[in-house]
A and B are shown apart, each in its own frame.
Chain A
Amino acid sequence: MADLIRQFMEEAELVHANLYLVPRTALDAKIAELTKDVPSEKIYDARNDAPIPRDDLARKMVGISEMVTGIAETGSLIVDLTAPDHLASLLPQRHIAILDANKIYPALEDYLASGEAPLCYTMITGPSKTADIEKILVYGAHGPVALDILIYTDP
């Protein structure tokens, strides 16, 4: 499993995500540290907060949500679109994705073969980006400008 986590982290870093590996007990402290400069009314935590209108969500600076799976081969995250929290990974400026280290699959084909995949999902690899102007890479095209991935392990 350690190999899968390492591979996931290396690949995700290559596509400009910020990676943090923490024990489950230290998760909340890490989130607080990452968001210490953001006013609390600008943060939407899909794990605890009640659903809010999408226009309001679009004005949040940080969206926090738990991912269903990680894919090590490409450093990708799977968002379940049949669950109500999926817009937290799309509308706010910055997305903090939380991932259980036990839920990392080696490759997309392994995940699809497992039968665990929801019917509607988005596989996220890095923050939103475009290279439509002179092939220069710009982050934050229409989705999140930055992507933080917090992987938690059980001690």
Chain B
Amino acid sequence: MEFTPRSIKANFTESLKDFTLRKNLTKATHHTIEKRDALKAAAPDWNKWRDAAAASRRESLLHLDRYLAQFENQFTALGGEVVHATTIEDARSKILDIIKAENGRTVVKAKSMVTEELELATFLNAQDIETWETDLGEFIIQLAGEHPSHITAPAIHKNRQQIAQLLHEKMGVPYTEDPELLTGYARQFLRQKYLDADVGISGGNFIIAETGQVILVENEANIRLSTVLPRIHIAVTGVEKVVPSQQDYANLMRLLPASATGQKMAGYVSALTPGVSGGPERMIVILLDAGRRQMLASEKWEMLACIRCGACLNVCPIFNRGGGHAYGSVYPGPMGSILTPGLSEPGNAPDHAFASSLCGACVDICPVKIPLTKLLLQTRGDVVNTHHKSWDNLAERSVWKSWSLMMRHPGIFRIMRWFGARIPVRFHWGSDARKLPRLAKETFLQQVRDGRFD
């Protein structure tokens, strides 16, 4: 399976035959949705929280530069450094420069979707900087040399037999299918890496404008270890992750873990600034644009409200059948089908927005009320307007062109109406059940004019 957004059609054709994948995946996603639904049912204020979260995310986006400047002022006043990166390449080279200037040799990396956009671990390892993914799922994916298939559960496509075989082959540990033992092997191996690493790299779930804090959400404690033990902490985050105040963040934390993993609260939520006792000497926040401002200026700007919970993936019938890899992009599922072309250009992901039934399950579950189906339709429009040739889908185009012509010209409309009243229209020629009722011979307007109602 190729991992490029252009390969989505071929990838789906292939992955639809993979029943093991579908079984692993649906078992996991349904489990998460059930837990999420139970939490929602037990929370009478859920819709209030959701409305507040949706409003807060849009407030941030509508005044993005103001809140980013406020964050930067607060964070630098505390002794932190803020680095702006316009593109993926820009971010990579700036991170590499920081590590090299500090003579960094080993990096421990927390799970972060933004660093997936940068393919940071692969990039740094290629530059001879030993970089370890420390989240268990990401660690498994790194050993397998694959890409994550889900934004919150990277190894969701693998079952325990596959993981057991992988750890046995790559780490030389005894073959075992016991998840506790497998987790223990990874724990043991990575423990020393945290203690030895010069640099810790994390993402940032939120950055708070009011206080200059970087918020990191996790369950395993690998982020805590990666961000407080090394000399240098680099947090890489998208510009859209800024929230105005601590109260906005506290409200979002009622929705994020519930929507992502069906937990009332995640295991560890850290608020970080410089000043951690015995912690890093330098803390640097990389604010990545990489297409976000371009998207903010477009009609699809609401997509940037996304808090990366992955709930829209879990409920999506297409995602559950094809799997995350089939999308060939860092962000799969409904959110990914809008983000992938939106952050680059429509032609980069020509088929993603069409890989949806527009059933709207994603809209219903989204904790920040992103109108995903509307944005998918707009993305389809972008693709058609900018990347389809005029002879693509000729029949469909002709039908709609004619319809538009008819509706704008009363003369043509009257002629077509006359035919419509006299020619039986069938959608299915084998049965009478689908026959359309014949139009009336005379229109209502004609009947009024004839004085039928006087």
| A residues in contact (CB < 8 Å) with B | 11, 14-15, 54-55, 58, 74-76, 81-84, 86-87, 90, 107-109, 112-113, 117, 119-136, 138, 140-144
Contacts and interface: CB of A to CB of B under 8 A. Distances in A.
B268 A123 contact: yes
Given A55-B195, A126-B267, A120 B224 contact: no
A112 B250 contact: yes
A107 B191 CA distance: 33
Contact of A133 (B155, B251, B271): B155
A141 B182 CA distance: 10
A108 B225 contact: no
B213 interface: yes
Interface string B71-88: 000000010000000000
A76 B276 CA distance: 20
B187 interface: yes
B279 A81 contact: yes
Dominant SS at the A interface?
A: loop
B360 interface: no
A117 B191 CA distance: 30
14 contacts: A15-B267, A58-B195, A76-B265, A87-B228, A90-B221, A109-B247, A120-B273, A128-B268, A130-B183, A135-B153, A135-B156, A138-B179, A138-B180, A142-B221
Given A81-B272, A122-B270, A143-B268, A130 B220 contact: yes
B267 A124 contact: yes
B296 interface: no
B236 interface: no
B179 A125 contact: no
Given A134-B160, A136-B179, A142 B222 contact: yes
A132 B222 CA distance: 13
A133 B179 contact: yes
Nearest to A125: B265
B65 to A, nearest CB: 24
Interface stretch (B135-143, B304-312, B327-335, B381-389): B135-143
A131 B135 CA distance: 11
Nearest to A51: B278
Nearest to B181: A138
Nearest to A136: B179
Given A130-B136, A133-B160, A143-B268, 13 more contacts: A81-B277, A86-B228, A87-B278, A90-B221, A107-B250, A109-B251, A120-B213, A123-B269, A125-B268, A130-B137, A132-B153, A140-B183, A142-B221
A84 to B, nearest CB: 5
A109 B229 CA distance: 28
B32 interface: yes
B270 A81 contact: yes
B278 A84 contact: yes
Contacts of A81: 228, 270, 272, 276-277, 279
Contact of B250 (A55, A75, A82, A108): A108
Interface of B: 24, 27-28, 31-32, 78, 134-137, 140, 153-156, 158-160, 163, 179-180, 182-184, 187, 190-191, 194-195, 211, 213, 219-222, 224-225, 228-229, 246-247, 250-251, 253, 261, 264-273, 275-279
B207 to A, nearest CB: 14
B275 A82 contact: yes
Most chain A CB inside 10 Å of its own CB: which residue of B136, B140, B211: B136
Given A128-B221, A130-B220, A135-B31, A90 B273 contact: no
Nearest to B279: A81
A76 B25 CA distance: 31
A46 B156 CA distance: 39
A90 B224 contact: yes
Nearest to B177: A133
Given A109-B251, A142-B220, A133 B183 contact: yes
A63 B349 CA distance: 51
A129 B277 contact: no
B99 to A, nearest CB: 21
Given A82-B275, A108-B253, A142-B221, A54 B267 contact: no
B277 A83 contact: yes
A117 B135 CA distance: 28
B265 A90 contact: no
A124 B275 contact: no
Given A124-B267, A135-B27, A112 B191 contact: no
A142 B190 contact: yes
Given A58-B191, A142-B225, A128 B220 contact: yes
Nearest to A122: B270
Contacts of B153: 131-132, 135
Contacts of A117: 246, 271
Contacts of B272: 81, 120
A7 to B, nearest CB: 12
